[in-house]
Amino acid sequence: MGLALAEARKAYAAGEVPIGAVLVLDGEVIAAAHNMREAWHDATAHAEIIVIREACRKLGRWRLTGTTLYVTIEPCPMCAGALVMSRIDRLVYGSPDYKAGAVESIFNVVQNGALNHRAEVFAGVRGDECAALMREFFKERRSKD
């Protein structure tokens, strides 16, 4: 989670919503990224989507079985869906997202029994740090408006 937080801090410094993600396979970091929506002018440029794309290219496959995704904030519906579709086995995230969370806060996409894949979930890992980074970012943005 420390590496995901480092990615989130990079996003913060770049004026992006500070969310970072890291994908690990057999103890090795396969991909790491942070949100890039503003820089890329791309609504799908969430940290999770970027690491999934990078990992698929690096591994030469779309099935990411055996991997663990670490992300600072609970994934949104798009990212949770991508996690299921790419067959990621484990999700570790820091802080819940009560406005858009699709793991426990609003929906539960990643463990939905109607889907053909479910991920194991570990929530709250360094959650206070992850939430504090988001609070500070939005507090700073509101003070500039």
CA 75, CA 91: separation in Å to the nearest integer? 9
Cα distance between residue 105 and residue 85, in whole Å? 20
| CA nearest neighbour of 126 among 25, 16, 28, 4 | 4
Rounded to whole angstroms, the Cα distance separating 9 from 18 reads: 6
> In the annotation, is 48 catalytic?
yes
Catalytic site residue from 7, 16, 38, 48: 48
d(CA 33, CA 102): 20
DSSP state of 14: T
Residues forming the active site: 48
